[in-house]
Amino acid sequence: MSDNAYDQGRLDLPFVGHCTFAKSRPITNWDEINADVAVLGAPNDMGTQWRPGARFGPRGIREASTLFSFGHAGAYDHEDDTMYLTEDQLRMVDVGDADIVHTDQAKSNANIEKAVRKILEKGAMPVVLGGDHSIHAPVIRAFEGRGPIHILHVDAHLDFVDERHGVRYGHGNPLRRASEMDHVTGMTQIGIRNVSSSNRSDYQAAIDAGSTILSVRQVRQLGTAGVLAKIPEGVSYYLTIDIDGFDPSIAPGTGTPSHGGFVYYEVLEIIQALARRSGGRIVGMDLVEVAPPYDPTGTTSILAAQLLLNSIGFIFHARQKAQR
């Protein structure tokens, strides 16, 4: 077990230095990516139907992540008696943002997909910071030929609309688009609740495509083990997390808040359980819809950063154990 190395080098407090995700090394030439995790920003909110602002999500999450990343040689979890995020478990870099072309959703999506394909080509796991949920469609398309992949989707909304007035790539469509891809073999969609963006036919289409749909109340009735039992084994997994899956009492900074959402540990424990059961076969993740302008306290960005860092730690600790 490694110790925290406060006595070596710079103290490097959270408010000092470059504001990359978790103060990881910045990489501007993507051909030079040599890491286990590459964090990419996708600051696009052209797909929103109500309140914009998620374009500032990557910056907000990066800044919040510095709170958890000063002077450490890993992070100790006393409940698990485990060191996570140690140098022998993973190398993480921040590759900046995909280029977003204002008013051009198709070009912006193409740039996001190209960036994720490059990360995968270099052998790293992409962690993508949205942006609204429309960014999920080009991200998951970049995994073409890398299936079978089962998607774990955390959200207040189903996001399974097919088309409205010609719009197929807004933030209400991404899981429908993902379901049409050959490498995506199914989904577990949790947190879906309240008056939503999808109608009865969208729900039926999701079920027909192989989705298991669980509300917050159903997840609580099942518990972590019950939810895990509904997720198929023997495949790779991708996590797409909309911050509005959480209750607005802890995540007010989002464009489409919905009351009755998850609290922090309900989601974290499901991710940890999946990482453990699969031996870390989570191949990528995105976290979307953080809109800092609606949360002057910054608590939503802190929640996002903390969830991502813990999830990355769980995934790579599980991979290390599986290789022993």
Q: How much is the pLDDT for 10?
A: 74
> In the prediction, which pLDDT does 165 show?
85
Give the pLDDT confidence score for residue 169 in this predicted structure. 74
Please tell me the predicted confidence (pLDDT) of residue 135.
97
The reported pLDDT for the residue numbered 125 is: 98
What pLDDT, on the 0 to 100 scale, is given for residue 66?
94
CA–CA dist 313, 274 (Å, integer): 13
pLDDT at 1: 44
Q: What is the pLDDT of residue 166?
A: 84
Alpha carbon dihedral 243, 244, 248, 253, in 10-degree steps, equals 60
Q: Tell me what pLDDT residue 225 has.
A: 98
**Tokens linked to 66:** 């510095």
Residues in the chain, pLDDT under 50: 1-2
CATH class of domain segment(s) 21-323: alpha beta
Q: Which tokens in the block code for residue 305?
A: 């950063």
> Which residues, 6 or more positions from 235, have their beta carbon under 8 angstroms from its beta carbon?
147, 148, 149, 150, 185, 281
pLDDT on residue 4: 54
Q: Can you give the residue ranges of every domain in the chain?
A: 21-323
